[in-house]
């Protein structure tokens, strides 16, 4: 299927590895012009080399103002912006009574304000040209809390409501906004959490972890011309992990 995004300009945050890297690769395969973002360092450099013809923006999205700056820099390097993939790193694993004030503030800056600043920087030009795609990579934990991921469970759930609210304001201008909810996926982040893959798989109806490529295929479709009537949704890619509706 031709997704109709040949030449579209896409900015993918958190793209030095894992889901962000896979999304950038999938969009490039559809002919999009891509810029990637990650913290400064060797991983960003290696990702840029591996992907080939991409622009790179170095930014620490946990720092105030960096998300907005990263979008502005991507707009300058790409000559515009049609597709924005908001993807920030997950906060540390912790139970509620052990989470410090500073951890809550860091999580809020990264997961919440990083998304807010990115979207309000990108939206005006998208609405002006009456075409745009915004994807928020959240987590299945936004709907069904995962053990020990207190900060993520709380803050990511709020992004679902924010997505619905923004959709009501921008859909008329040809801009779609959707949340993507990855379940347990075979990424470095999962290994950092120290959760045994075999134990997880036993609780997933598909009886396996997902792959970044499977998740990226969903992201690419939601970025497409064909997905113009899909907006304001929270769509899981989780092998059936979520039990609710």
CATH of the domain at 227: 3.40.50.720
Query: Where residue 142 falls among pLDDT bands split at 50, 70, 90?
Result: confident
pLDDT value, residue 93 = 85
Mean pLDDT calculated for residue range 177-181: 97
pLDDT value, residue 245 = 61
* Choice between 184 and 233, residue whose per-residue pLDDT is larger: 233
pLDDT value, residue 191 = 73
Could you give the CA distance from residue 192 to residue 21 in angstroms, rounded to a whole number? 17
* Choice between 146 and 116, residue whose per-residue pLDDT is larger: 116
CB atoms within 10 A of CB 243: 8
Could you tell me if residue 171 is inside a domain? Answer: yes
Could you give the CA distance from residue 56 to residue 44 in angstroms, rounded to a whole number? 7
178: left (phi > 0), else alpha (psi -120 to 50), else beta? Answer: beta
Query: Where residue 193 falls among pLDDT bands split at 50, 70, 90?
Result: low
Q: Which of 48, 59, 24 is CA-nearest to residue 215?
A: 24
pLDDT value, residue 22 = 97
Could you tell me if residue 245 is inside a domain? Answer: no
Could you tell me if residue 27 is inside a domain? Answer: yes
User: pLDDT tens digits, residue range 101-135?
Assistant: 999 999 999 999 999 999 999 999 999 999 999 99
Q: Specify the pTM.
A: 0.94
User: pLDDT tens digits, residue range 200-219?
Assistant: 888 899 999 999 999 999 99
Instruction: Assess whether pLDDT exceeds 90 at residue 160.
Output: yes
Three-state SS annotation for the chain? CCCCCCCCEEEECCCCCHHHHHHHHHHHHCCCEEEEEECCCHHHHHHHHHHCCCEEEECCCCCCCHHHHHHHHHHHHHCCCCEEEECCCCCCCECHHHCCHHHHHHHHHHHHHHHHHHHHHHHHHHHHHCCEEEEEECCHHHCCCCCCEHHHHHHHHHHHHHHHHHHHHHHHHCEEEEEEEECCECCHHHHHCCCCHHHHHCCCCCCCCECHHHHHHHHHHHCCCCCCCCCCCEEEECCCCCCCC
Could you tell me if residue 114 is inside a domain? Answer: no
Average pLDDT, the chain: 93
What token pair was written down for 48?
A: 């840029």
Domain tally, the chain: 1
Query: Where residue 223 falls among pLDDT bands split at 50, 70, 90?
Result: very high
User: pLDDT tens digits, residue range 60-95?
Assistant: 998 999 999 999 999 999 999 999 999 987 788 889
Q: Which of 145, 130, 127, 218 is CA-nearest to residue 178?
A: 218
pLDDT value, residue 228 = 98
Could you tell me if residue 88 is inside a domain? Answer: yes
For tokens 């989780």, name the residue.
238
Burial 44-54 (b: 16+ CB within 10 A, else e): beebbeebeeb
Mean pLDDT calculated for residue range 151-165: 93
Instruction: Assess whether pLDDT exceeds 80 at residue 196.
Output: no
Mean pLDDT calculated for residue range 178-202: 82
For tokens 């609210």, name the residue.
165
Could you tell me if residue 109 is inside a domain? Answer: no
Mean pLDDT calculated for residue range 223-245: 92
Could you tell me if residue 110 is inside a domain? Answer: no
Q: 235 φ, ψ to 5°?
A: -115, 125
Q: Which domain holds residue 89?
A: 9-49+65-99+121-237
């Amino acid at each position: 299927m031709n997704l109709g995004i040949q030449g579209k300009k896409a900015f993918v945050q958190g793209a030095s590895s894992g889901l962000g890297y896979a999304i950038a690769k999938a969009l490039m395969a559809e002919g999009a012009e891509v810029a990637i973002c990650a913290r400064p360092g060797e991983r960003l450099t290696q990702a840029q080399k591996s992907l080939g013809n991409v622009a790179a923006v170095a930014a620490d999205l946990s720092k105030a103002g960096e998300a907005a700056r990263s979008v502005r820099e991507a707009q300058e390097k790409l000559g515009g912006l049609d597709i924005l993939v908001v993807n920030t790193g997950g906060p540390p694993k912790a139970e509620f009574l052990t989470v410090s004030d500073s951890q809550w503030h860091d999580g809020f800056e990264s997961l919440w304000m990083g998304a807010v600043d990115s979207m309000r920087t990108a939206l005006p030009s998208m609405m002006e040209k009456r075409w745009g795609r915004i994807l928020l990579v959240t987590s299945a934990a936004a709907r069904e809390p995962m053990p020990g991921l207190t900060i993520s469970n709380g803050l990511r759930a709020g992004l679902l409501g924010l997505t619905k609210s923004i959709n009501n304001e921008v859909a008329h201008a040809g801009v779609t906004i959707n949340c993507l909810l990855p379940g347990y996926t075979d990424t470095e982040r999962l290994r950092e959490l120290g959760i045994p893959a075999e134990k997880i798989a036993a609780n997933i109806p598909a009886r396996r972890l997902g792959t970044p490529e499977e998740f990226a295929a969903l992201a690419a479709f939601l970025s497409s011309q064909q997905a113009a009537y899909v907006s304001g949704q929270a769509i899981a890619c989780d092998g059936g992990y979520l039990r609710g509706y």
